Structure 1
Amino acid sequence: MRIATFNVNGIAARLPHLLEWLEREAPDVACLQELKATDIGFPAQAIREVGYGALWAGQPSWNGVAILSRGADPEAIRRGLPGDPKDTQSRYIEARTHGVRVGCLYLPNGNPWPGPRFDYKLKWFARLLRHAKKLQASGEPVVIAGDFNVVPTDADIYDPKHWRRDALLQPESRDAYAKLLAQGWIDALRAIYPDETIFTFWDYFRQHWPRDRGLRIDHLLLSPDLAPRLKAAGVDRWVRDLPKASDHAPTWIELGNPSEKRATTRKAAAKRTPRKKPPERD
């Protein structure tokens, strides 16, 4: 089973890219962020025509998240992160599909730092930590996927010194992400590629995409019971290279069946895929 996350950066503008990716790569589950569309404006019919059911939470002009499920309709669990009934931003959605509980998130960016937006980021993160702990206690296999707007370490960015005042690299942001992992969540890309340079986001400035000056901010976290099923992970970089692309590329993992043990050791994985970059399915 393949589960992916993709910040589309405007689903209306990127719909042809999204549909091409769904048809070409056929993930079983796709978590989308930054829809920038109302609930009514979500292109459910076009997505259904390529074989996907969908659950979404829109918002005019900003935010918005969705979970797509190949060949099935996701079973809705919640729209919105619990813990603050006054928070109306569409940043979290949760569903069951293909035997897995999936939380799709678009964590606040937090810029400019310092300031109220960064304070909101940390409060939202604190709520996520509380909810993530409950998800682990549920006894279900869980994947939390999305744009976390956190660069976990300096190894996850092309040049950290130029980003030191950015909210994505602040110690508080990184500490909150580390606390998630300390709960037992598995950072799937790092589990497969512990030492490689992997990027999922390249901004539109100073030719950062052609120069491969990126950041890793899109993450898929697995509950501990899913770790033995993790077989592969990667980034579909070809999507970022399309004309007028999103500044993110889809990031994915592959899980084996519940009865399967982890298919390969790191040495076996090295024989199957390039070590310098996660595999690109061209």
Structure 2
Amino acid sequence: MSCDANRFVTWNVNSLKVRLPHVLRYLDEKRPTLVALQELKCVTEQVPTEPFAERGYQILAFGQPTYNGVALIAPNEWQAQEVHRGIPGFADDAARLLAVEWRIPAQTRPLWTVSAYFPNGQAVGSEKFAYKLRWIEALTAWLAALDPQRQAIFVMGDANIAPEARDAHPSWPEESIHVSSAERAAWAELVAQGFTDAVRICHPEEVLYSWWDYRQGAFRRNIGLRIDHILVSAPLARCVIAAGVDREPRTWQRPSDHAPVWVEWLPPTNMATQSSNSV
């Protein structure tokens, strides 16, 4: 990684309590600038802060018992100017979205980062599927209001959608959950507001997965889905220098069923007054 580059990561950890040693190991070994977490499976008050502070990070969280939960791990010196827990204007009992507008030393423009855990949807045509589409519609409308054509915005998380056929293993049933036409259309509408898929900037044709079922040796056999994504708004798309899926943590003992997805980027010249402040 360039000394001037920022490395942002999104990771569905499938229980922060279980995977906290993995997250701390990842911070120690990779030294990312910012990490978006999903599926914390704990209340906000149970999210530890000290082990992150010891490493130079702060953690903002939005959690709830048993299910859901999102967080953002960022440098201590970054200042949170505006924080949204949940999609503004959308009534929802689930802890699925944390959005923060940051003021960053040496940068003249604010930066928005969003950690999102999209609803699973259960099955096409179900009530939970209808909720998933309503949730995405509300998120799309709110992000459009932020003006991604001009604002610096990262939308990171587990979208529970494989956007294209190559993002799902051929064995995955067509028109089933995660790959249905309705889900893909909703995702395309969100992206069309002014976002670009960071991984596809760097890997336009490669088959990549970010999730593998625990069962039937799916990871070993590479039977997976690419459902974890990092979207960058228009001012940032030209600043991406590398991106990918980090499969290594999926090989660790008691891993999450998701692998981290990452992007490296350089601040645009109209955002920074000097080299970016990476951790």
TM-score by length of 2: 0.88
What is the aligned-residue identity percentage?
36
- Residues 1:142 and 2:153 are matched in the alignment: yes
SS at match of 2:135: helix
Asked if 1 retains the 8 angstrom alpha-carbon contact of 2:167 and 2:225, the reply is yes
Q: Deviations over 1:187-240 (max 9, x none)?
A: 110111100011111111110011111110011111101111111101111001
Alignment of 1:54-65 (within 5 A): 54-65=59-70
Which of 127, 132, 136 is matched with 2:143 structurally? 132
Q: How many angstroms apart in 2 are the aligned matches of 1:32 and 1:48?
A: 16
1:226 corresponds to which residue? 236
Q: Which moved more, 1:139-148 or 1:116-125?
A: 139-148
Aligned equivalents of 2:77 and 2:261: distance in 1?
21
Structure 2 matches for 1:162-173, cutoff 5 A? Answer: 162-164=172-174, 166-173=176-183
Q: Determine the structure 1 residue equivalent to 2:85.
A: 79
Mapping of residues 1-282 of structure 1, within 5 Å: 1-73=6-78, 75=80, 76-85=82-91, 87-97=92-102, 98=104, 99-136=110-147, 139-159=150-170, 161-164=171-174, 166-259=176-269
Structure 1 gaps of 5+ residues are: 261-282
- The 1:21–1:84 alpha-carbon spacing in structure 2 relative to 1, beyond 3 Å, is same
1:112 counterpart letter in structure 2: A
Mean alpha-carbon deviation: is it higher for 4-13 or for 104-113?
Answer: 104-113
Query: When you count helix as a share of all residues, which structure comes out higher?
Result: 1
Letter in 2 for 1:104: S
User: Cα offset for 1:164?
Assistant: 2.5
**How many residue pairs end up in the alignment?**
258
Match of 1:233, SS state, is strand
What TM-score do you get using the length of structure 1 for normalisation? 0.87
> Which consecutive unaligned segments of at least 5 residues does structure 2 have?
1-5, 105-109, 271-279
Is the 8 Å Cα contact of residues 30 and 68 (structure 1) preserved in structure 2?
yes
Q: Is the 8 A contact 2:62 2:98 kept in 1?
A: yes
Q: How many angstroms does 1:259 deviate by?
A: 2.2
* SS of 1:162 mapped into structure 2: coil
The one-character-per-residue Cα deviations of 1:78-102 (angstroms, maximum 9, x if unpaired) are: 11112323x1210001113345210
Distance 2:190 2:232 in 1: 11
Q: Residues of 1 paired with 2:264 and 2:16: CA distance?
A: 25
How far is the alpha carbon of 1:51 from its aligned partner? 2.1
- Is the CA contact 1:79–1:94 (under 8 Å) kept in the aligned structure 2? yes
CA contact (8 A) 1:111 1:166 kept: no
Q: Equivalents in 1 of 2:154, 2:122: separation in Å?
A: 27
